[in-house]
């Protein structure tokens, strides 16, 4: 079975500062990895995904993530955050032919002016 | 516009009163799924469907039913709701073929059971 751990439940940062949201996963087979964002009172929107190939994945809104197989991590980064990035971020994993996404607990990103 | 829609968006009900939350997608996706979101637990899968008349349990199916009579619709049924089913519910869909595994989510239904 797969599991996902998001190491921080809340991350406060100042506007224009860099941010890293951490995600570790556990799986005995190869996985697909995703980051979703949930803005207040909205559904989930895909930020980026890793399926195969280059371990550095670029997504929407200036976010990127790096897949590290040896450390079983998929941390999300942005070099300079904006107030509009305030949201909850979910890391998720899926395996080939699996019928579900397994989600982490979520990280609430708060941007202070 | 390609989308997943859910109704209602907000619902307050009482213990034991049967309710249905509807989910519809216009992308001709074979796969549909229901999740519940609770603070500190992320999203957990309730039920999923791989196609019409094909459904199966997820991780937290107790107290829920689903049906898939049409490809576009996947309603979630709570026959006797209880307060522990107070939660935020999301429907999602994706094509069964292909390799992206990306799921498309509806806007959510916030359910309160008193």
pLDDT truncated to tens, each residue of chain B (114 aa)? 889 999 999 999 999 999 999 999 999 999 999 999 998 899 999 999 989 999 999 999 999 999 999 999 999 999 999 999 999 999 999 887 766 678 899 999 999 999
pLDDT tier for residue A52 given thresholds of 50, 70 and 90 = confident
Q: Do A49 and B102 touch (CB under 8 A)?
A: yes
Residue length of chain B: 114
User: For position A1, what pLDDT does the model report?
Assistant: 80
Identity of the residue in B4, B42, B107 whose CB atom sits nearest the CB atom of A42: B107
For B82, which DSSP code? -
Q: Does A9 touch chain B (CB under 8 A)?
A: yes
pLDDT tier for residue A94 given thresholds of 50, 70 and 90 = confident
Q: Are A90 and B42 in contact (CB under 8 A)?
A: yes
CA dihedral B34, B37, B42, B47 (to 10 degrees): -20
Q: Are B46 and B61 in contact (CB under 8 A)?
A: yes
Helix (H, G, I), strand (E, B) or coil at A84: helix
Helix (H, G, I), strand (E, B) or coil at A10: strand
Burial (CB < 10 A; 0-12, 13-18, 19+), residue A46, is: middle
Q: Do A90 and B105 touch (CB under 8 A)?
A: no
Angstrom distance (rounded) from CA A35 to CA A87:
12
Rounded to the nearest angstrom, the minimum Cα separation between A94 and chain B is 8
């Amino acid at each position: 079975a797969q599991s996902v751990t998001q190491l921080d439940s809340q991350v406060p940062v100042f506007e224009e500062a860099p941010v890293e949201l951490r995600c570790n996963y556990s799986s005995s087979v190869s996985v697909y990895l995703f980051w979703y964002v949930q803005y207040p009172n909205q559904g989930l929107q895909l930020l980026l995904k890793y399926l195969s190939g280059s371990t550095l994945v670029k997504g929407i809104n200036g976010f990127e993530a790096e897949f590290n197989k040896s450390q079983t991590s998929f941390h999300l980064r942005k070099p300079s955050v904006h107030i509009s990035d305030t949201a909850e971020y979910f890391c998720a994993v899926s395996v080939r032919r699996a019928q579900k996404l397994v989600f982490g607990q979520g990280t609430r990103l708060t941007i202070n002016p | 516009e390609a989308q997943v829609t859910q109704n209602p968006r907000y619902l307050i009900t009482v213990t034991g009163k049967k309710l249905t939350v509807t989910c519809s997608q216009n992308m001709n996706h074979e796969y549909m799924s229901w999740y519940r979101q609770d603070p500190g637990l992320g999203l957990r899968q309730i039920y999923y469907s791989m196609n019409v008349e094909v459904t199966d349990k997820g991780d937290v199916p107790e107290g829920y039913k689903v049906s898939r009579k049409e490809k576009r619709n996947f309603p979630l049924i709570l026959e006797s709701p209880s307060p522990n089913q107070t939660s935020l519910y999301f429907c999602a869909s994706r094509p069964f073929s292909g390799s992206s595994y990306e799921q498309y989510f509806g806007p959510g239904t916030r359910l309160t059971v008193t």
